[in-house]
Structure 1
Amino acid sequence: MSQPPHSTTPPDWQRPRGVAAGTWQYVHQRTIARHYDDFVADTPLCELDRRYVLETLSTFSHRPSGIESANSGAAKPLVLDLGAGTGRLALPVSRRGYDVLAVDLSHPMLEQLVQNFAPADDDDDQAGTVMPMRANLVQLDAIADSVADHAICMFSTLGMIQGRANRIQCLCHIARTVRPGGGLILHVHRRWAALRETGGWARLLRSRVRSLCSREAEFGDATYAYRGLEKMFMHRFSENEIKSDLKAAGWTVERIDRVGIDGSDLVTSAWDASGLFLVCRR
């Protein structure tokens, strides 16, 4: 995979659909990819969602996808990992016996994933393989219909997509590529968690005003400094909004779990929730 140079951020009309200026910079920063694994190792949410994904996948039924394993030749169930990054979820999922199609827009992230992935020993016919794919999550037409058993989209990857229509398009693509009866495990940041943050009231008010004054802005949009980037984009959801978006894309929400403010555990109180895990079915 060769990567063209990206010394400057292109204007809106030249960037892929749903990719904000800050996100464009993020996906092309090699230093971010190089240090990503160390960063997530100290992030409680990443350990929590790893456990959540593995435990939830174990409750899903599946049928072999028809893709032959490189280890045993037997077909294994296929999981789509949307926003796979360096493979922090793709790798443990593959070790549980799934083949993983690891999709990300960041070439440096996928390069790091390839370096991280060491094929299992020949006598370990339980492990699956990880297949990297560089793509924009709003434009997944290259993936065939009903090819996957399940999908995961974690660490607020959906919120990194700018524009509600684009986020719904992403969810529609996932629904199209996952077989009927398959599952989706999703994480989003919760909009009202800003009320627990310093200056959160003011940020929510500014977001609301911008959404009323500009067609390009939506309530819940935010830009913030992140790992050396000045304007990283993130959309935070209300519970009703994400449920509506999933329904519009053909998903049925089976379960919603709230993630605590510090990301280390699940909570029952909405006031103490920073985000949501959603388990959905086709």
Structure 2
Amino acid sequence: MSSSSSKPSWQLPTGVTRGSLDYIESAAIADGYDEDIAFGSDFQFDEQVVADFIPAIGLVADLGCGTARALIPLVRRGNQGLAVDLSEEMLRIVAEKAQQEGLDIQCLQANLVELEAIADQSIDHAICMFSTLGMIKGAAYRKQFLDHVHRILKPGGKFVVHVHNFWFNFFEPDGAIWLATHLVRAKFTRGMERGDKYYRYRGIPNFFLHVFSRSEFSNALKSSNFNVSRLVPLRMDRQAELSHPWFFGKWRASGWIALCEKPS
């Protein structure tokens, strides 16, 4: 029986689905995370984009850090790190890595939509990578998270966030059928938003992920008062920027990395 199966819906963490909670609480997933995600080569482009945008000094919060594979390179460059995740198991891995390398990383177990433990304007820069934003169910809760990010950042603070593209599903096997079916279901199913996906992921049934259109992503960031410097479109394998983005880039991009700033 899954760890969350006996909990009534009202006891689930805010913005977290039952399947996602099973993923979050799994020690096996945390222990095998870096190996399963092929830590390193597949994410060199993401790492470079973050490094080019985030200054090599100051406190960086990795929000939904997982095993901190995006945060650790920044701390190695001279930043301090704050690793934030709801998963105690993921934070255990982060603490082990920090101890092994002598890295200045503090860990905080918290729900991304409930970041009251982090003081106003106490963070220099923040990152939320690998579609972690999409793991929050409900547009209102995603906005609540983005509002928290804006609140905790110092004026002029940088924010880097990644999401997957809703329309890219067209290029997946049976994707056109899925899109057509999903658009109808989202229109008539209570509590379902366009872009809400449930699927089996790393052995977890009904894992939840919200995928965004380009305009939805941009508007969400702007509604939380971020200045969006650029939306970097990603090619299918995410190892480089999409070529010729003017040619149906809103469909062809597998997702986007947003480079944002809190106004000074």
TM-score w.r.t. structure 1 length? 0.86
1:144 Cα offset (Å): 0.3
Is the 1:204–1:220 Cα contact (8 Å) retained in structure 2? no
1:156-185 deviation digits (Å, cap 9, x = unpaired): 000010000000110000000001111100
Inter-CA distance 13–144: structure 2 relative to 1 (3 Å threshold): same
Aligned residue number for residue 73 of structure 2: 92
Aligned residue number for residue 217 of structure 1: 192
1:278 paired with 2:253, answer no
Is the 1:40–1:46 Cα contact (8 Å) retained in structure 2? no
Structure 2 distance, partners of 1:236, 1:152, is: 18
Structure 1 distance, partners of 2:183, 2:147, is: 27
Amino acid at match of 2:232: D
Structure 2 distance, partners of 1:15, 1:190, is: 27
1:21 paired with 2:18, answer yes
The structure richer in helix per residue is: 2
Partner residue of 1:158 out of 110, 130, 133: 133
Amino acid at match of 1:180: P
1:202 Cα offset (Å): 2.0
Inter-CA distance 211–7: structure 2 relative to 1 (3 Å threshold): closer
Structure 2 distance, partners of 1:160, 1:42, is: 20
Tell me which stretches of 4 or more aligned residues in structure 1 moved more than 4 Å: 42-45
Amino acid at match of 1:201: A
1:120 Cα offset (Å): 5.3
1:38-187 matches, cutoff 5 A: 38-41=35-38, 45-58=42-55, 77-118=58-99, 129-187=104-162
Structure 2 distance, partners of 1:223, 1:43, is: 27
1:202 paired with 2:174, answer no
Structure 1 distance, partners of 2:185, 2:8, is: 20
Q: How many matched pairs?
A: 256
Percent identity of equivalent pairs: 39
Amino acid at match of 1:274: S
Inter-CA distance 146–275: structure 2 relative to 1 (3 Å threshold): same
1:9 Cα offset (Å): 5.2
Structure 2 distance, partners of 1:104, 1:213, is: 33
1:169-208 deviation digits (Å, cap 9, x = unpaired): 1000000000111110010001110011001122222322
Inter-CA distance 152–206: structure 2 relative to 1 (3 Å threshold): same
Aligned residue number for residue 30 of structure 2: 33
Structure 2 distance, partners of 1:183, 1:21, is: 32
Root mean square deviation, CA, Å? 1.9
Inter-CA distance 29–82: structure 2 relative to 1 (3 Å threshold): same
- Helix, strand or coil: the match of 1:267? coil
Structure 2 gap segments, 5+ residues each: none
Is the 2:62–2:128 Cα contact (8 Å) retained in structure 1? yes
Structure 1 distance, partners of 2:51, 2:209, is: 26
- Helix, strand or coil: the match of 1:50? helix
1:94 Cα offset (Å): 0.8
Structure 2 distance, partners of 1:44, 1:274, is: 18
Structure 1 gap segments, 5+ residues each: 61-75, 122-127
Amino acid at match of 1:83: G
